Amino acid sequence: MNELVLEGVGKTYSGRRALRDVSTSFAPGQITAVLGPNGAGKTTLLGILSTLVAPTTGRLLWGDEILSRSSTARGAIGYVGHDPGVYGDLTARENLTLFAALHGVAQPAARGAEMLARVGLPDAPADAPVRTFSRGMLQRLALARALVHAPSLLLFDEPSAALDPAGADWLQGELRAERAAGRIVVLVTHDLDAAGDVADRVMVLRRGRLTFDGVTAGGFSAAAVRDLYREHTRD
């Protein structure tokens, strides 16, 4: 797997600069927590990494390929956002089978069942549409959907926002498992403790600028993350 490199990436919406000249890289086998106050550009950055948002300036390089909406590498991206990203009128299995098939996974139904077991939903009601699921079940399904094609780049936007403490612990375990599998994991969160628990690297954004980007071999403590956040988001 290759590093994902951002070169001078910026985004402007109707004259408002949401992201300014961000140059950095994301390494495989590393969890990067992206922190910052509301409106700092975190979700815009995630949107650009996912290729759903086109940068106004700069470019993304993944290996030899420029990552964009038309690049084939798009198929190696998994995204877990605020919403589950599934069809409420389909069952969990039908959703996973659909997305596995769209990604060209052989035996999509079997892969869907495998992913349901992995995220702890093996007994998800076979006939129940997912709109009847609890928020926690939906978040597990969202993760299964994002992982169904074994992506190399995993993007998470506030994934634990609606989870109870047990669910949040489970999610952290999943993030670590993905890191161990050598994937690039980018986590946008307001939960500084969670960031401290799992992140190998912390990035802080403020008003669209990257104000801190640091890696430590042993990871960050929650207290260290809080200090970093305060220091680098101060006016």
Partner 1 sequence: MTSPPGQRVPSFLSQVARIAAKDLQIEWRSREIVATMSFLAVVVVLIFSFAFVVGDARPAPAVTAGILWIAVIVSGTVGLGRTFDREREGEAIRSLLLSPAPRGAIYLGKLVATVTLMLVVETVLTLLCGFLFAGGVLQNVGRVALLLALGTVGFSAVGCVFSAALLRSRSRDVLLSTLLYPIVVPIVIAGARGSSQLLDTVSPDLDGALFWTQFLIAVDIIFVTVGLWAFEPVAVGD
Rounded distance, CA 84 to CA 39, Å?
22
Among 30, 178, 199, 228, binds partner 1 (CB under 8 A): 178
208 within 8 A of 19, measured Cβ to Cβ: yes
Site for partner 1 in 189-228 (CB under 8 A): none
Nearest to 183 by CA among 66, 42, 98, 79: 79
Give the Cβ contact number of residue 189 at 10 Å: 21
- Give how many residues touch partner 1 by CB under 8 A: 45
**Distances, alpha carbon 190 to alpha carbons 157, 158, 226, in Å:** 10, 7, 11
Which of 51, 139, 160, 189 contacts partner 1 by CB under 8 A? 51
Nearest CA among 126, 123, 120, 115 for reference residue 91: 126
Identify which of 157, 158, 165, 115 has the alpha carbon closest to the alpha carbon of residue 140. Answer: 115
CB of 145 to partner 1, least distance (A): 6
Distance, in Å, from the CA atom of 18 to the CA atom of 74, rounded to the nearest integer, reads 23
Report in angstroms how near the CB of residue 187 gets to partner 1 at its nearest: 17
Please report how close the Cβ of residue 202 comes to partner 1 at its closest, in angstroms.
24
Residue 53 is a binding residue for partner 1 (CB under 8 A): yes
Measured from the CB atom, is 78 or 196 closer to partner 1? 78
Report the residue number, 23 or 107, with the smaller CB distance to partner 1. 107
Distance between CA 59 and CA 115 in Å, rounded?
A: 33
Per-residue x/- track, 68-107, partner 1 (CB under 8 A): ----x-xx-x-x-xxxxxxxxxx---x---xxxxxxxxxx
| Binding piece for partner 1, criterion CB under 8 A, among 46-54, 158-166, 189-197, 222-230 | 46-54
Return residues touching partner 1 (CB under 8 A).
Answer: 47, 50-53, 72, 74-75, 77, 79, 81-90, 94, 98-107, 111, 114, 118, 129-131, 145, 147-150, 177-178, 181
